[in-house]
Every structure is written in structure tokens, then in C-alpha cells.
Amino acid sequence: MISQEDLHHISKLSKIHLSEKEFEIYSMQIEKIIEYLDKLDEINLNESNDYKISITKNICELRNDVHVPFTGNFKRMRKNDDEGFVKGPKMT
């Protein structure tokens, strides 16, 4: 079950504003989706068949510490440029 507070919390955490109407629709849909995911609850985490699912590498395979300048052009994405700084909303 996903409560009203849960969805408020999620909306705040993900920084997505929801209108009242949206709130209603999403809480219904997400409830159904989460219910479907509850199927996973049958799985026992303690059962030991931990098959490796991630790629593993050795340290020697990693990048060497050298400076390589980026040669591409950033100009086209400076929509909020202020003399080289990026302009963002105020903090307080």
C-alpha cells in the first residue's frame, strides 16, 4: 500500500510538483504498479545462490591518471550563461 504521505514524500524527494488532480491519478496508478512489484516479496533474501551479476575488473584495467583536455564545444548549451558562470535559481 502506498499512502498519501508516501506520495507526498516521493514527490518532494524527486522534486516533481504534482497538481491535486495529478496527485489522485498517480497515487492510483502507482499503487497498482507497486502491488505488482510486491510479487518480489516471495523471494527469500537469505537463500544462498548469489550468482554474480555485476561486471568485475582489476585495478590495472582502470584509467591512467593523465589530463586529456575536452575539445568539444560547450557554447550551445549555455542557456543560462552569466560571464562564464551558470546562472541558477537563488538558494534561500
Partner 1 sequence: MSKVRIGLEIHCQLTQLKSKLFCSCIANYRNRDPNTNICPVCYGLPGSLPVLNKKAIEYACMIAIALGCDMPKNLTFARKNYFYPDLPKNFQITQYDSPGSDNNTCIGKSGKLEYISDKTVRIKRIQLEEDPGRLVHEIPASQSGGNSLAYTLIDYNRAGVALVEIVTEPDFNDPKEVRLFLNKITSILEYLNVCNTNLEGSVRCDANVSIGAGKKVEIKNVGSFKDVEKALSYEITRQKTMGLHEIEVKGETRHWDDKRKITKQSRSKEEEEDYRYFPEPDIPIIKIENEFILNLSSKMPELPDQRRKRFIENYQLSEHVSEVLINHKEIADLFEKAVKIYQSPKSISNWIVSDLMGFIDYESLEGKPLNEIIKIDEKHIAELARLVDENKINRTVAKKILTQIVNSGEMPTRIIDRSELTKIGDSKTILEFIEQVFMSEKNAINDANKNPNVANFLLGKVMQKTKGNIDPKKALEIIKKKLEEHK
Partner 2 sequence: MTNRFQNYSIRQIHNGIKNEEFTSEEYVSYIIDRIEKKDEKINAFITVDKEKALENAKNIDKKIRDKEKIGILAGVVMGIKDNISTIDLKTTCASLMLSDYYPPYDATVVKRLKENGVIIIGKLNMDEFGMGSTTEYSIIGPTKNPWNLDYVAGGSSGGSAASVASGECTASLGSDTGGSVRCPASFCSVVGLKPTYGLVSRYGLVSYANSLEQIGPVGRSVSDVSTLLKIISGYDEKDNTTISSDYTEYDDLDLKETDQIISDLNKNKPFKIGLLQDLTNKADKEVSQYVYRSIDLLKENHLECDETDINSTEYALPSYYTIASAEASSNLARYDNIRYGFELNPEGYEWNSYYSDSRSRFGSEVKRRIFVGTYVLSSGYYGKYYMKAQKAKSMIKHELKTLFQEYDILVLPTVPILPFKIGEKIDDPLKMYLTDIYTVIANLAGIPAISLPVGFSGGLPVGIQLMADEFKEKNLLAVSTILERMVNIKKYADVF
Please, which residue, 40 or 65, has the CB nearer to partner 2?
A: 40
From partner 1, partner 2, none, interface partner of 1 (C-beta below 5 to 8 A by class): none
DSSP state of 64: P
Which residues fall within 8 angstroms of residue 58, CB to CB, at 6 or more apart? none
- List the one residue from 1, 13, 40, 43 that touches partner 1 (CB under 8 A): 13
- List the one residue from 59, 60, 66, 77 that touches partner 2 (CB under 8 A): 77
The whole-angstrom separation of Cα 51 and Cα 29 is: 33
Please, which residue, 37 or 66, has the CB nearer to partner 1?
A: 66
Please, which residue, 15 or 67, has the CB nearer to partner 2?
A: 15
- State the Cα angle at 91 between 90 and 92, rounded to 5°: 105
From partner 1, partner 2, none, interface partner of 36 (C-beta below 5 to 8 A by class): partner 2
From partner 2, partner 1, none, interface partner of 20 (C-beta below 5 to 8 A by class): none
Q: How far is CA 60 from CA 55, 56, 65, in A?
A: 15, 12, 12
